[in-house]
Chains A and B, each alone.
Chain A
Amino acid sequence: MNMLGRAEFGVSTFYAASHPNDKCGPNGLPLTPNSIKVLGRFQYLTTIEHPWLCRYIDIAKSKHERMLVVTEYYKTTLQSQLESGKYSRYHSHCLSVIDGLSYLHSKGITHHNLSTDNILLQTDTDIKLAEYGMYYMTDWGADVNFPIGLPQYMAPEIVCSGPVEIDDETEDSLQPEIGPKVDTWSLGIILLELILKRQLWRDISLPEVLQKLLNLINSEMSPLDFLANEEGFSDQLKTLSKDLLDLLRFCLTLAPSRRPTAEELKKHTIFREERQRMTPHKNGFTMCTMKLRCKDLELPSYDDEIYDPDHLSQRGMAEVYYLWQLAGGELEAVLKKAGMVKTQPPVNLLPCCGIPDGDMFGQERDKAELLDRTVVILPQEQLRNRLKDIEERAYYPLLEDEYADNSQLPTSPSSCDLTMTASLPLVIREKDVEYQFHRIILYERLLRAYPYKRPNIWKEARVDIPPLNRAHVWAALLEVEGDIENIYSSIDKETPIPTDRQIEVDIPRCHQYHELLSSPTAHAKFKRLLKAWVVSNPQYVYWQGLDSLCAPFLALNFNHEGHSFCSSLLPIACLSRFIPKYLNKFFLKDNSPIIQEYLAVFAHLIAFHDPELSNHLDGIGFIPDLYAIPWFLTMYAHVFPMHKILHLWDTLLLGNSSFPLCIGVAILYQLRDRLLSFGFNECILLFSDMPEIDIEKCVQDSIKIFCSTPKSATYRQHACKPRKQKNDDRPNVSYYSRDYNEQPQNDLSMEPIAIEELKAEKCPRISAEDMIELGEFLGAPLSRSPTKKRANSKPMIIIVDVRSADEFRKGMVQGSINIPFMTAFSPEGELCPCPAVTTLNSRRSQVIVVVGNRGRNASNFANELVRLNYSRVCVLHRGIDILKTTGLLTVAPADI
């Protein structure tokens, strides 16, 4: 985590070049807008972390290809220092710049934009390089119309190579990327300026600068001598030390091949002393690592002098920026206030004619698109005002205490507000700055203690997950742990494999409305991720839909400041935990038995909760196979937009492998009225393009459905098998997270059922075990059933025995009613009235367990009940026989 410290946030803006007309790429799709490309490439910059470099924090795209970039910023620049004339620290600063540059170069980034006005002074002694990502994020200048870097500092080879050219076919820059050595030249010029205490070539026009640069190139003299001659500082040069002069000459070498790299400069004799004092740079916290995280921990000693009352400055930059946005901060408004957004009204920018090929004519160039290098500081007052009432303690919540005294949220003067906030809809909570503040700090602490604090993370996640921490919370919920770097970085993601073609076809169709996911960078990541999964799971194949499944993980880990190297590996690690949990065996080459079973169970669940709808859909032949396969195969990632998937999965990840089925039923609930009135064709049409679904309601409904479904009713033989060794660190409080399959099996548990049998039945089966528990036949309730007990404990179930009256009298479950199947229904298909039926009708809200012999009578009876719109009907698996060993059967009292 990079602390905010004294840093400001600076926002700068530029226009990406817009494509002249709608050309298509080699794949037949329209060209990606440059702004999207920049957006994708930018994400890598957020991972750059170094003491001499400003952090890149965020990028946003606004209308008409305008980009807004947020970075760490300081008001003092080297240039302003130079102008004020009291500057003498060039020696140590120079080494810092070199160190920063060499780090950038090692990360594959060329600065290309170095000048005195983007070397910022954090304190008097420490510098920070800014604007170093411009060249990288614009694909080495290809995505913008303006040159990057000031001509005064441009290395000769930049001018000679001319402007950037772009290949029409591949959209890539044709230019050989100009190497990192251009930065050495710029450094040379800057060093010279610092020594001379004045700026070179500053008061002359741009063409003159370029002219002088050309003269320099063509001159016989060495560049330094040429400059000395031109600018008349030969005398000053003579007073310099030999080492310094040597360094200058070294930097200002005309031929790039002989010019040193930043790494080589570091070794220059002039820096010998400083080099020894430099400490190697360490990157911050990583979530999953095998290294000892406390190795370098030094407990801070309490010292009044270093005590800083500005607690916000101790928080991470990304975090503060996120809160800044929540507190009403808007980049464009800030820019507008600074007069940086001078757009013309669109009516004045229109062209005056066009031809069918798509070309337009008679347009004026919008002057606003020219580059303005000003950086505007984001005012933090609003945020600080919002947070000023928060107690100091809230910045450092104590995890242990808090859980001991069971208070849900940290106390603050407005704590009552917070508990109230917690009951508001999720979308409102996510916009509440104070609430998010507490949540973020809490999660940040918990995640640092992961995996030790996993139970607490589970508990908190049931309340909600703040968007800022979501990527890591998900990883925690999926129990990603261990040395993921070692496991996943060794996977071969490059060698072509047969599925490459399909992957390449699918990626440009997957969640492309999402700005990040539609960028070429994301496409490349997508491909690596999918290939990595396919290669590392040889027993599985690539099925279409896997791409959608990857998208949420990719989008999440793209979005936020990754914990450096972890970020590229987290998606694959999450995916590799997600698929076995929810989609076990779905990606087998022959996955039809698995899907068939899944759909059959889904059909049962619909009948269980909504017999009327089930009857209607069955009647018109609209079976789940026709619409629900993409739902389950992608865990709804294919049918919802990203922001809804995230909210849905927040809950889904807390549930067990049956939970997705309940979501399916909840979706049908929302469309119920329409489905009931529709015929087959209209239903097909309705689902061909998923209608808008209220996702929060869907989540709430599916939780309700889940809670009112006996666990064994959603039993699937293909669900994942229990993992062998299991350390009990997940809280046992949650009926939610437990998987039925992970429980110990016994005689009374559910068993695999043949698929034909499943399909023939309309109702789910309940295991004897579940029935005993729900009926509380054994007194003390186990914590295995999802169904919550109410205080005034009425029985949850009503048992309907459909055997003949004789058999019933010989041995029955206590409290059960007897409706013999043979005589139960009238010729019209209605239930023949009798006292037992009256009892049944009076207890319709309860789960009806139909108990029969081994034959089909019980399930047929249940089917009839469903036909008559009785809800919550299920059949006891293996009939009455299974209860014989339990001693629950009693002989009926004679008077019935």
Chain B
Amino acid sequence: MPKSVEKDFVFNFSSRGLSSRLTVPVTIPLRSSAAEFEVKDFASVEKKDAEHAFPKVYHTLIHSPALETLLNLEHIYALSMENLTQQRDRDLRRLEEKHQLEMEEALQHVGENFKDDDINVLAQRHFDNMQMVEAKWAKELSELREEQKREYHDWVHRVYEDTQTASTPPYVNRMRNVTTALPAAEDEERQVQLSRLEESFTIHLGAQMKTTHNLRLLCTHVMDLCRHKPHTVGGIVVPQPQRLQTAMSLYSNSLCGLILLVDNRLNSYTGIKREFAAVCEQSTDFHFPDLAQQLSAVETALTQASTVRASRQQQQQQETDSSSVHSSGSNSSGSSENQDKSMGARLHTGDFYLTKHSNLSEVHVVFHLVVDENVRTGDITSRHPAILSIRNIIRLCFRYDIQTLTIPLLLTHEMTEEMTIPWCLKRAELLFKCVKGFMIEMATYSSLVSRTIQFLVPRGMSEEMFAQISNMLPGIFRLSNPLVVKST
């Protein structure tokens, strides 16, 4: 078989009246006079353009007087969604209670009216019931979601067309009236809920050329950054201000990212993943597919990843094999191949997958970083896969304009007994230093944009420890010149 090279020849002829773009993957046998060309047309350009129009339309509207209307609409949709999910939760809880009662009663009368088999049948029936009701709700929810989404898209397009033609669209005044009609806020509503411990720093990075960045040390639960808190004015639920911020920057060049630590199973059944899924479900995401769909896309990409990983491992194996004078023989290669196949698209420690959201409180992009138990208990070094992955995530942030990134400083979302003060300090130091190094590295060739890194520590950390960690920060990062005000 002749050795050949392949590469896409891509032309864009939009300038010369020929509007089509062409990609020509060329296969050319090397050093041979005859060349073969495979040709493929890029046909689906048109369809994609329509799909890509929505971000632009939305971005224009959200930066126009239609902003309020848009947000209110989203808010109303969110409320009805929340309503429905609450109903579902109530319904399921009731069903569960009912089942429990039945089961208890049945168990009390085992041997009298019921045999063991009957118990099994009852359990099976309960399970089926539960599934049916869940499925029913899921269907209802997804229908509502789809409907909202469709309506919303239509509405956005329509309003956009209106703004392009009419000078002062009528809805502006209408919605203005609605907002001004809100009652005055009550005193308790004016109180800011201070559940967070927070400290901010401005730092300089770089030896000669300095870039300014912001660091924030934050003590709160990770879901608080995602969940919309109920926000009322005079008893009426109104959208949170954060929502505005998130919506306005969604298609901009300043995104917000969050690293969420997960286990190596790609689902949303347990622990923090379940909580996160629940938060996502609270309202409809009008811009991105829902979480389940995004996860299935991740799964497809993971198979790709696993082939790359396998081939790389093989290469490494070969390299070590050839260097170690073939001591192990051939049986090892066979078993490893089997292993690779069985592993399929599994997640490993240090892998991450990414989901995008428009309906979370302070976050657009969530990096789900896979960690194992070791991270929580043992000591790790800067070569640990999770740290390497944080580097890749930061690189991604620099590349794709994610200006704010939240990193769990201790690489865990919970405070536990084993986490002693020295352990916490050591972990914090490691993360601080690594992140500093990564940021310096990434800033080398990129522009001088300043970024914000939020270091998140779990809720339940003592104020004393928080202070200790915050004191550590100026020793590791160079704070920008303090402005000293002199009295004379």
Same complex: yes
Say if the beta carbon of A218 comes within 8 Å of chain B: yes
Q: How far is the CA of A620 from the CA of B201 in the complex (A)?
A: 29
Instruction: Kindly list chain A residues whose C-beta atoms are within 8 Å of the C-beta of B59.
Output: 345
Given A344-B52, A640-B208, the answer on whether A355 and B305 have CB atoms closer than 8 Å is: yes
Say if the beta carbon of B253 comes within 8 Å of chain A: yes
Across the interface, name the chain B residue whose C-beta is closest to A644.
B208
Say if the beta carbon of B30 comes within 8 Å of chain A: yes
Instruction: Kindly list chain A residues whose C-beta atoms are within 8 Å of the C-beta of B415.
Output: none
Contact A347 B356 (CB under 8 A): yes
Contact A206 B354 (CB under 8 A): no
Say if the beta carbon of B252 comes within 8 Å of chain A: yes
Across the interface, name the chain B residue whose C-beta is closest to A64.
B399
Q: Per-residue CB proximity of B65-100 to A under 8 Å, as 1/0?
A: 000000000000000000000000000000000000
Contact A353 B298 (CB under 8 A): yes
Say if the beta carbon of B433 comes within 8 Å of chain A: no
Say if the beta carbon of A768 comes within 8 Å of chain B: no
Contact B300 A362 (CB under 8 A): yes
Across the interface, name the chain A residue whose C-beta is closest to B367.
A354
Instruction: Kindly list chain B residues whose C-beta atoms are within 8 Å of the C-beta of A639.
Output: 208
Q: Per-residue CB proximity of A360-377 to B under 8 Å, as 1/0?
A: 111000010011111000
Q: How far is the CA of A513 from the CA of B205 in the complex (A)?
A: 12
Q: Per-residue CB proximity of B381-409 to A under 8 Å, as 1/0?
A: 00001001100110110011110000000
Say if the beta carbon of B424 comes within 8 Å of chain A: no
Instruction: Kindly list chain A residues whose C-beta atoms are within 8 Å of the C-beta of B399.
Output: 64
Within A652-690, the residues touching B (CB, 8 Å) are 673-674, 689-690
Contact A371 B10 (CB under 8 A): yes
Contact A214 B354 (CB under 8 A): no
Contact B208 A210 (CB under 8 A): no
Q: Which of A351, A361, A371, A641 contacts B209 (CB 8 A)?
A: A641
Within B345-359, the residues touching A (CB, 8 Å) are 348, 350-356
Say if the beta carbon of B34 comes within 8 Å of chain A: yes
Contact A692 B204 (CB under 8 A): yes
Q: How far is the CA of A639 from the CA of B210 in the complex (A)?
A: 11
Q: How far is the CA of A353 from the CA of B255 in the complex (A)?
A: 18
Contact B10 A513 (CB under 8 A): no
- The stretch from B11-19, B177-185, B228-236, B450-458 touching chain A is B11-19
Q: Which of B26, B34, B447 contacts A163 (CB 8 A)?
A: B26
Say if the beta carbon of A454 comes within 8 Å of chain B: no
B371 to chain A, nearest CB (A): 12
Q: How far is the CA of A22 from the CA of B398 in the complex (A)?
A: 13
Say if the beta carbon of A512 comes within 8 Å of chain B: yes
Say if the beta carbon of A160 comes within 8 Å of chain B: yes
Instruction: Kindly list chain B residues whose C-beta atoms are within 8 Å of the C-beta of A367.
Output: 21, 45, 48
Q: Which of B28, B308, B401, B478 contacts A359 (CB 8 A)?
A: B308
Q: How far is the CA of A674 from the CA of B481 in the complex (A)?
A: 10
Contact A357 B312 (CB under 8 A): yes
Q: Per-residue CB proximity of A205-222 to B under 8 Å, as 1/0?
A: 111001100100110000
Across the interface, name the chain B residue whose C-beta is closest to A686.
B478
Q: How far is the CA of A150 from the CA of B402 in the complex (A)?
A: 38
Q: How far is the CA of A220 from the CA of B27 in the complex (A)?
A: 24
Q: How far is the CA of A146 from the CA of B12 in the complex (A)?
A: 9
Contact A356 B350 (CB under 8 A): yes
Count chain B residues whose beta carbon lies closer than 8 angstroms to a beta carbon of A: 80
Contact B34 A345 (CB under 8 A): no
Given A163-B5, A163-B26, A344-B52, the answer on whether A355 and B21 have CB atoms closer than 8 Å is: no
B434 to chain A, nearest CB (A): 13
Instruction: Kindly list chain B residues whose C-beta atoms are within 8 Å of the C-beta of A164.
Output: 7
Say if the beta carbon of A588 comes within 8 Å of chain B: no
B247 to chain A, nearest CB (A): 12
Q: Per-residue CB proximity of A97-136 to B under 8 Å, as 1/0?
A: 0000000000000000000010000000000000000000
Q: Per-residue CB proximity of B448-488 to A under 8 Å, as 1/0?
A: 00000000000000000000000000000010111010100
Instruction: Kindly list chain B residues whose C-beta atoms are within 8 Å of the C-beta of A217.
Output: 33, 35
Say if the beta carbon of A744 comes within 8 Å of chain B: no
Q: How far is the CA of A517 from the CA of B76 in the complex (A)?
A: 55
Q: How far is the CA of A350 from the CA of B288 in the complex (A)?
A: 12
A612 to chain B, nearest CB (A): 15
Contact A350 B302 (CB under 8 A): no
Q: How far is the CA of A64 from the CA of B398 in the complex (A)?
A: 10
Contact B305 A346 (CB under 8 A): no
Given A367-B21, A372-B15, A373-B15, the answer on whether A356 and B392 have CB atoms closer than 8 Å is: yes
Across the interface, name the chain A residue whose C-beta is closest to B385.
A356
Contact B298 A346 (CB under 8 A): no
Contact B24 A63 (CB under 8 A): no
Contact B11 A371 (CB under 8 A): yes
Within A493-547, the residues touching B (CB, 8 Å) are 511-515, 518
Say if the beta carbon of B169 comes within 8 Å of chain A: no
Contact A351 B396 (CB under 8 A): yes
Say if the beta carbon of B262 comes within 8 Å of chain A: no
Across the interface, name the chain B residue whose C-beta is closest to A640.
B208
B236 to chain A, nearest CB (A): 31
B40 to chain A, nearest CB (A): 9
Q: Which of B297, B388, B400 contacts A362 (CB 8 A)?
A: B297
Say if the beta carbon of B215 comes within 8 Å of chain A: no
Contact B14 A372 (CB under 8 A): yes
Say if the beta carbon of B445 comes within 8 Å of chain A: yes
Across the interface, name the chain A residue whose C-beta is closest to B4.
A162
Q: How far is the CA of A46 from the CA of B310 in the complex (A)?
A: 48
Main secondary structure of the interface of A (DSSP, over half): loop
Contact A146 B34 (CB under 8 A): no
Given A162-B30, A210-B37, A352-B354, the answer on whether A33 and B445 have CB atoms closer than 8 Å is: yes
Contact A689 B207 (CB under 8 A): yes
Across the interface, name the chain B residue whose C-beta is closest to A375.
B15
**In the complex, which of the residues B8, B30, B444, B480 has the most CB atoms of chain A within 10 Å of its own CB atom?**
B444
Across the interface, name the chain B residue whose C-beta is closest to A688.
B478
Q: How far is the CA of A33 from the CA of B441 in the complex (A)?
A: 13
Say if the beta carbon of B309 comes within 8 Å of chain A: yes
Given A206-B11, A214-B35, A689-B207, the answer on whether A518 and B445 have CB atoms closer than 8 Å is: yes
Q: Per-residue CB proximity of A847-881 to B under 8 Å, as 1/0?
A: 00000000000000000000000000000000000
Given A350-B354, A512-B444, the answer on whether A218 and B21 have CB atoms closer than 8 Å is: no
Across the interface, name the chain B residue whose C-beta is closest to A358.
B392
Instruction: Kindly list chain A residues whose C-beta atoms are within 8 Å of the C-beta of B277.
Output: none
Instruction: Kindly list chain A residues whose C-beta atoms are within 8 Å of the C-beta of B7.
Output: 162-164
Instruction: Kindly list chain A residues whose C-beta atoms are within 8 Å of the C-beta of B250.
Output: 345, 347
Say if the beta carbon of B251 comes within 8 Å of chain A: yes
Across the interface, name the chain B residue whose C-beta is closest to A211.
B37
A35 to chain B, nearest CB (A): 8
Q: How far is the CA of A30 from the CA of B365 in the complex (A)?
A: 27
Instruction: Kindly list chain B residues whose C-beta atoms are within 8 Å of the C-beta of A638.
Output: 208
**In the complex, which of the residues A352, A370, A371 has the most CB atoms of chain B within 10 Å of its own CB atom?**
A352
Instruction: Kindly list chain B residues whose C-beta atoms are within 8 Å of the C-beta of A352.
Output: 294, 297-298, 301, 353-355
Across the interface, name the chain A residue whose C-beta is closest to B345.
A353
Say if the beta carbon of B55 comes within 8 Å of chain A: yes
Say if the beta carbon of B39 comes within 8 Å of chain A: yes
Q: How far is the CA of A214 from the CA of B33 in the complex (A)?
A: 9
Q: How far is the CA of A673 from the CA of B395 in the complex (A)?
A: 38
Instruction: Kindly list chain A residues whose C-beta atoms are within 8 Å of the C-beta of B308.
Output: 355, 359, 361
A-B contact pairs, 12 of them (CB 8 A): A36-B445, A218-B33, A344-B55, A345-B250, A347-B250, A350-B354, A355-B308, A355-B389, A362-B297, A362-B301, A373-B12, A512-B444
Query: Chain B residues in contact with chain A, CB under 8 A?
Result: 5, 7-12, 14-16, 21-22, 24, 26, 28, 30, 33-35, 37, 39, 45, 48, 52, 55, 59, 204, 206-210, 250-253, 255, 294, 297-298, 300-302, 304-305, 308-309, 312, 348, 350-356, 364-365, 385, 388-389, 392-393, 395-396, 399-402, 441, 443-445, 447, 478, 480-482, 484, 486
Would you list the 9 A-B pairs with minimal beta carbon distance, nearest first? Answer: A362-B301, A163-B7, A207-B39, A356-B350, A345-B251, A353-B353, A513-B209, A641-B209, A370-B12
Known: A163-B28, A354-B392. 13 other contacts (CB 8 A): A64-B399, A162-B35, A163-B7, A210-B37, A345-B252, A347-B364, A361-B308, A513-B206, A642-B209, A673-B486, A690-B207, A690-B208, A692-B210
